[in-house]
């Protein structure tokens, strides 16, 4: 975290007026509704499900709550400007956790994050088998960092 909030990247790049933020999110969600065929209630459930996954996965991986919180911020920031259809949230949530662990200097192997995701997204939980591998998580890490404009702290 920056020592001075007024010089932080959060203050300089991520605080948006409510109208501008609403316009950006509305455009991204319209793309999602058209591409994915999802209704607004389903789209609104995605960030909540991702946050629940991040907390659970962080606990299983032995990470601090601060890492899960940072990952949730990364997830929300990325999808502020990007539609869900561009990058699968089931892939981006573990990537956010992996990158947040690095940023918070509490690193964890990518295979641990993927194992937590695979345990969370099981066929017995009503979903399908987790389709992503360690290579996918490592490859998508740059996509997330670029979507955040490399403002990690």
> What secondary structure does DSSP assign to 108-149, as a single string?
--HHHHHHHHHHHS-GGGTSPPP---HHHHHHHHHHHHHHTT
pLDDT at 12: 64
Q: What share of the chain is helix, strand, coil (3-state, %, to 5)?
A: 70, 0, 30
Condensed to tens digits (0 to 9), the pLDDT of residues 16-48 reads: 667 766 766 777 777 777 777 777 788 888 888
* pLDDT of 1 strictly over 60: no
Q: Which pLDDT band, with edges at 50, 70 and 90, does 98 fall under?
A: very high
Q: How many CB atoms lie within 10 A of CB 79?
A: 23
Helical ranges in 37-64 per DSSP H:
40-61
Q: How many CB atoms lie within 10 A of CB 100?
A: 26
pLDDT at 16: 64
> What is the domain partition of the chain in residue ranges?
5-147
The pTM of this model reads 0.81
**If you average pLDDT over residues 114-119, what whole number do you get?**
88
Domain 5-147 CATH (choose: 3.40.50.300, 3.40.50.10470, 2.30.42.10, 1.10.472.10): 1.10.472.10
Q: What percent of the chain has pLDDT over 90?
A: 20
In angstroms, the CA 99 to CA 102 distance is 5
In angstroms, the CA 5 to CA 84 distance is 30
In angstroms, the CA 74 to CA 116 distance is 18
């Amino acid at each position: 975290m920056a020592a001075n909030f007024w010089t932080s990247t959060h203050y300089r790049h991520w605080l948006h007026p409510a109208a501008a933020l609403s316009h950006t999110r509305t455009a991204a969600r319209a793309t999602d509704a058209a591409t994915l065929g999802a209704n607004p209630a389903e789209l609104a459930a995605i960030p909540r499900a991702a946050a629940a996954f991040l907390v659970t996965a962080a606990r299983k991986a032995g990470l601090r709550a601060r890492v899960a919180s940072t990952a949730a911020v990364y997830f929300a920031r990325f999808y502020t400007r990007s539609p869900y259809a561009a990058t699968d949230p089931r892939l981006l949530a573990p990537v956010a956790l992996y990158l947040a662990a690095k940023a918070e200097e509490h690193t964890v192997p990518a295979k641990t994050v993927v194992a937590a995701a695979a345990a969370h997204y099981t066929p017995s939980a009503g979903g399908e088998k987790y389709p992503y591998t360690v290579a996918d998580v490592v490859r998508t890490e740059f996509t997330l960092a670029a979507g955040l404009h490399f403002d990690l702290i």
